[in-house]
Amino acid sequence: MTHHGLFISFEGIDGAGKSTHINSLAHAFQSAGRIVTLTREPGGTLLAEKLRAMVLGDAMDPLTESLLIFAARRDHVVRVIAPALLRGEVVLCDRFTDATFAYQGAGRGFDLKVLATLERWVQADHGLLSDPSGNHPMAPGIETVIEPHLTIWFDLPPEEAALRLAGARVPDRFESQPVDFFRRVAHGYRERQRSHAERFARIDASRSRDHVWANILKVFIEKGWLQAQEVP
Ligand code: TYD
């Protein structure tokens, strides 16, 4: 049976609790016989991981930050995401472009129109997703810009996220921002959900871990991408 590639991203402010659920989903898809590419942004390739270290560690202005993040994304799309989708795999990506609109756009106040232009350039398909048989490995509707089929958005009040993060580890350049920054980022995610409602699934991340997991599974089962009996 040939499978279409599935591209799924996970978003939310720092502290929203994405990581364990992404790993559980990888297991669920693997139990269902799918090959999973588990990856993250910024990062996912050798070059992009170097750029990630700069973005998270070094002070820079918002344009430099945005350009480095999109440079990392281009390398990631070309080398990892598009090839995995062509092979029919499930790509689970911890953050993607919605994070740039939320963090660099809403959080840092950087020009959303510039981000939208970079998004079109960097995620342009331009044959990346055509295979020699002429089949397109993704569902219709994304021929021109490569973007996720589904975005799981972990929605959590910024005050609660700050409590969860406090003392958890040494914060990076974003995690050390004041709660006001995360209020803007959360607003940025809401705006992105509004403009891309068809691919966003909002999960209330303030609920217990089990409840959050059950709600995530429900989304995948309703889409027919996982069967209830396949879930470990
Ligand atoms: P993340 O991988 O969630 O961090 P963690 O190591 O805590 O799991 O994300 C790294 C940080 O990068 C996070 O604070 C958000 C930020 N970020 C942006 O500012 N813009 C982006 O486009 C992306 C993808 C991440």
CATH code where residue 24 lies: 3.40.50.300
CA of 93 to the centre of ligand 1 (A): 12
Pocket mutation for ligand 1, best pick of 10, 14, 100 (most atoms within 8 Å of C-beta): 14
Which residues does residue 124 pair with via DSSP β-bridges, in sequence order? 145
Which of 91-105, 108-122, 168-182 bottoms out in mean pLDDT, i.e. has the lowest? 168-182
Give the chain's domain count: 1
Shortest-distance atom of ligand 1 to CA 172: 14
| pLDDT mean over 106-125 | 95
CA of 161 to the centre of ligand 1 (A): 14
CA of 226 to the centre of ligand 1 (A): 27
Please check whether residue 73 is in contact with residue 41, taking contact to mean a CB–CB distance below 8 angstroms.
yes
CA of 41 to the centre of ligand 1 (A): 7
| pLDDT mean over 25-51 | 97
Residue 1 located in a structural domain: no
| pLDDT mean over 8-15 | 96
Q: Tokens 């040939």 — which residue?
A: 2
Residue bearing the bigger pLDDT, 45 or 132: 45
pTM: 0.93
User: Does residue 10 have its Cβ closer than 6 Å to ligand 1?
Assistant: no
Distance CA 81, CA 146 (A): 9
* 198 secondary structure, DSSP code: G
User: Does residue 171 have its Cβ closer than 6 Å to ligand 1?
Assistant: no
Residue 197 located in a structural domain: yes
Residue 203 located in a structural domain: yes
Q: How many CB atoms lie within 10 A of CB 210?
A: 8
User: Does residue 95 have its Cβ closer than 6 Å to ligand 1?
Assistant: yes
Please check whether residue 67 is in contact with residue 104, taking contact to mean a CB–CB distance below 8 angstroms.
no
User: Does residue 174 have its Cβ closer than 6 Å to ligand 1?
Assistant: yes
Of the pLDDT bands very low, low, confident and very high (cuts 50, 70, 90), residue 126 is confident
Q: Tokens 């092979």 — which residue?
A: 87
| pLDDT mean over 199-213 | 97
User: Does residue 15 have its Cβ closer than 6 Å to ligand 1?
Assistant: no
CA distances from 146 to 10, 24, 102 (A): 16, 25, 19
Please check whether residue 123 is in contact with residue 77, taking contact to mean a CB–CB distance below 8 angstroms.
yes
| Tokens representing residue 72 in the block | 């990392």
41: three-class secondary structure by DSSP: coil
pLDDT of residue 134: 55
User: Does residue 94 have its Cβ closer than 6 Å to ligand 1?
Assistant: yes
Shortest-distance atom of ligand 1 to CA 14: 14
Distance CA 43, CA 117 (A): 21
Distance CA 216, CA 11 (A): 13
Residue 179 located in a structural domain: yes
Q: Specify the length of the chain in residues.
A: 232
Domain hosting 183: range is 6-230
Q: Write down the H helix ranges in the chain.
A: 19-31, 46-57, 62-76, 82-86, 97-100, 112-122, 158-165, 179-195, 209-222
Through-space distance between the first and last CA atoms of the chain, rounded to whole angstroms = 22
pLDDT of residue 141: 45
Of the pLDDT bands very low, low, confident and very high (cuts 50, 70, 90), residue 7 is very high
Nearest CA to ligand 1 atom 19: 103
